[in-house]
Structure 1
Amino acid sequence: MERLKGKRVLITGTAGGQGEAAQKLFAEQGAQVIGCDLRPGAAEATASSLRDNGYDVRGYDVDLADPEAARAWVEEGARALGGIDVLYNNAAGFGFAPFPEMTIDLFRHVMRVELEIVFNTTSPAWGVMSKSGGSIINTASYSALRGISPLGQVAHATAKGGIVAMTKSLAAEGAANGIRVNAISPGFVKSPATDAAVDEAGRQWQLNNHLIQRAGTGSDIAYMACYLASDESGWVTGQNFSVDGGATAGWR
């Protein structure tokens, strides 16, 4: 079962959560993977454990909010792999506050660490992928698709809504060069990031609004990403896939 055999893959945010799960699944499915994370040594730690099992995985420290650092990581990855077949923009920071408490500084911070970082990696990857095509996978959120009052998500929802719109425009521009671009909108997924950002009351509120009343896992999202990275999705582009336990489908 090597659905990604020979694929050259860049994944952001591989130190834990959804990115770590995707890195493991992609490697198991035959891909060469280069990951990155903001925390020093964290991406290489998860990569090293996979290399010990014979997989071709490397990890680097990168601040993706720095356009030059993001560009250097993409360009070095392309050189090391001999090209890029898949770019998975998984990483994101966060910032939440009720709108009356939302400052312009916090709003701009969220745009920088959730929306701009997707541009920062996609821009340098675009020229490489234009030569041979490939798949770009962006990470949005179900917060981009429905308003969620209790969690103070105006900035987060705006950034993720921008990713959905960016995905569609990039798909239109990339089609002529064989670049497919899709997004995944997770619901509430248990991860180190959500554990840090959401208190118990917010967590319970979200779970109560999922038809399948459990938190998602990194693997739930990784399997969708694997499909979008693979040739199985060769006629799929410009789409946003909700993997959210039914949160955007209806009420239980």
Structure 2
Amino acid sequence: MMRFTGKSVLITGAARGIGLAAAQEFAREGASVTITDIDAEEAEHAAGAIRAEGLKAEARRQDVADETAWEALVAEVVAREGKLDILVNNAGMGFLKSVVDTDIAEWQRLMAVNLESVFLGVRVGIAAMKERGGVIVNVASIAANVAEPLFPAYNASKAGVAMLTKAVAVDCARNGWPVRINSLHPGYCETKLVADAVGALGEEAAGFAAATAAAIPLGRMATTREIARPLLFLASDDAAYMCGSELIVDGGYTAI
């Protein structure tokens, strides 16, 4: 299947994890992919591996919380590719701390990376797409749907992403702008972000990981490709009638 031949795709936080898996899948289906990440070396390594398959990928360093950098990046992609067809707001961070153990600096940094960056990306993305059309996929989380006492800041940020997605999707639809916007809600996935967050619990890490796996009806965390494929569905024409929707991919975690 080559659903994205000739499409220009921009994915944030794509040097690893779900973002990288999505970049690989988009490129394999014909897209020209721009990978961004705060770690420029890792981003270039990821893009290089995609190019080694004979596919199209570029890498750029990006601090997703930097408004000016967003505007310059999208302008560069449009100048290079002639358009921006698909934007995936994937970059994120997380930590496991109760609300009483989270300080204001940690809260503000997480909100800047997880929520404000999506606001900035959506705003510049719509501006680039509203004349000729496009798709925006915001990567939220089941943390937007289910509370977890050990990550209230993450819960709040991802719930914000979900509701922001709905508001801007309806705004585009009612204005007649041909920009589709939906959110993807992954469950627990085999990523460095999850591994690092759980590992930071120290002696409690093994117990938390075991309890989490036991709570997933399928009995395991997702692979990054198992999350990336539904993401590509949201970006494809197969999802043409989805507007402000939440697509949950969690192995049944929220079904019980």
- TM-score bucket of the superposed structures, by smaller chain: over 0.9
Pairing 1:212-231 to 2, within 5 Å after superposition: 212-231=218-237
Pick aligned residue for 1:165 from 163, 166, 171: 163
Shift of 1:73: 1.4
Aligned CA RMSD, in angstroms, stands at: 1.2
User: SS state of the match for residue 189, structure 1?
Assistant: coil
Aligned counterpart, 2:211:
205
Shift of 1:120: 2.0
Cα distance between partner residues in 2 of 1:120 and 1:42: 23
Shift of 1:135: 0.9
- Equivalent pairs, count: 248
TM-score normalised per structure 1: 0.95
Pairing 1:67-82 to 2, within 5 Å after superposition: 67-82=67-82
User: Retained in 1: the 8 A contact 2:227–2:249?
Assistant: yes
User: SS state of the match for residue 2, structure 1?
Assistant: coil
Cα distance between partner residues in 1 of 2:88 and 2:52: 23
Pick aligned residue for 1:244 from 228, 247, 250: 250
Shift of 1:40: 2.5
Cα distance between partner residues in 2 of 1:66 and 1:201: 37
User: SS state of the match for residue 248, structure 1?
Assistant: helix
Cα distance between partner residues in 2 of 1:203 and 1:132: 45
Cα distance between partner residues in 2 of 1:73 and 1:35: 11
User: Retained in 1: the 8 A contact 2:63–2:69?
Assistant: yes
- 1:193-219 CA-to-partner distances (Å, cap 9, x unmatched) read 111111333322221211111111110
Shift of 1:95: 3.3
Cα distance between partner residues in 1 of 2:180 and 2:62: 25
Aligned counterpart, 2:203:
none
Aligned counterpart, 1:3:
3
Cα distance between partner residues in 1 of 2:180 and 2:139: 14
Pairing 1:145-156 to 2, within 5 Å after superposition: 145-149=145-149, 152-156=150-154
Pairing 1:1-252 to 2, within 5 Å after superposition: 1-149=1-149, 152-175=150-173, 176-199=176-199, 200-250=206-256
Cα distance between partner residues in 1 of 2:66 and 2:13: 15
Shift of 1:172: 0.5
User: Retained in 2: the 8 A contact 1:207–1:213?
Assistant: yes
Letter in 2 for 1:133: G
User: SS state of the match for residue 137, structure 1?
Assistant: strand
User: Retained in 1: the 8 A contact 2:119–2:164?
Assistant: no
Long gaps (5+) in structure 1: none
Cα distance between partner residues in 1 of 2:116 and 2:210: 30
TM-score normalised per structure 2: 0.93
User: SS state of the match for residue 87, structure 2?
Assistant: strand
Cα distance between partner residues in 2 of 1:111 and 1:32: 30
Shift of 1:108: 1.3
User: Retained in 2: the 8 A contact 1:41–1:60?
Assistant: no
User: Retained in 2: the 8 A contact 1:95–1:109?
Assistant: no
Cα distance between partner residues in 1 of 2:71 and 2:146: 33
User: SS state of the match for residue 254, structure 2?
Assistant: coil
Cα distance between partner residues in 2 of 1:232 and 1:5: 15
Cα distance between partner residues in 1 of 2:42 and 2:207: 29
User: SS state of the match for residue 87, structure 1?
Assistant: strand
User: Retained in 1: the 8 A contact 2:96–2:198?
Assistant: no
